Structure 1
Amino acid sequence: MARLSEETGEIAREMNHLYGTKKKKFSEEKKELGQELSDVIFTVCCIANNSGINLQEYWTKMMKEKHYGRDNERFDRVS
């Protein structure tokens, strides 16, 4: 869980640099938001695998409930 908190914090830092008032210092390492997001996905996958959880099954269920149900009109469809 500490790893997930660390990675989530790195996303927050990058979001703050990109969209917030705190700009990156010259001495700070350049990181990409996409890389930080993928680090969180990787960490979540590791937690799921370690716990014997089939994420694909839960992802499909969540998409049916949220994307195709509750949030059906929220997003533009891309064909």
Structure 2
Amino acid sequence: MTDITPWPTPLTVENLQSIVDRWIRTHGVRYFSEMTNLAVLVEEVGEVARIMARTYGEQSVKGKKETSDLGDELADVLFVLVCIANQTGVNLESAIARNLEKKTARDSKRHHDNPKLTG
């Protein structure tokens, strides 16, 4: 894709949000509605779940042509998640920082005392 090169180094979440926005406006014409993107996100997460169930779980593969590129499916999830963040005005970099601070304050000792994890 010539419209996003050169790829920013390092790739930050903020850069990714800009790249996705530029791609949508150039190639996608406009964002789908927030509710449509939520449905697309659920669909993409389902594709990740299918691969996980068949690769790491006990579910059998249905046919030889079934694809199982976990990285590609995770990238699809991230892309749609970034679309939703962009169209709802969420700065993911700031949100992730706040979320990790919250988790650290809440969970810094909790998991160390869990015998299921330490035993």
TM score, norm. by length of structure 2: 0.54
Change in CA separation of 1:72 and 1:28 when aligned onto 2, cut-off 3 Å: farther
- Cα separation, 2, equivalents of 1:55 and 1:7: 19
Q: Which residue of 2 aligns with 1:64?
A: 101
Q: Given residue 35 of structure 1, which amino acid in structure 2 is its aligned partner?
A: D
Structure 2 unaligned blocks of 5 or more:
1-37, 113-119
- How far the C-alpha of 1:14 sits from its partner, in A, is 0.6
RMSD of the TM alignment (CA)?
Answer: 1.9
Unaligned 5+ segments in structure 1 are none
Question: Comparing 31-40 with 52-61, which one deviates more in the overlay?
Answer: 31-40
Note the 1:36-47 alignment, pairs <5 A: 36-47=73-84
TM-score, normalising length: structure 1:
0.76
Match of 1:31 among 64, 68, 85: 68
CA positional deviation for 1:62: 0.5
Deviations 1:1-55 (A, max 9, x none): 1101110110110111012221213333322222212211111100110111111
In 2, Cα distance between the equivalents of 1:8 and 1:18?
Answer: 15
Q: How many residues align?
A: 74
| Separation in structure 2 between the aligned mates of residue 58 and residue 34 of structure 1, nearest angstrom | 24
Amino-acid identity (%): 41
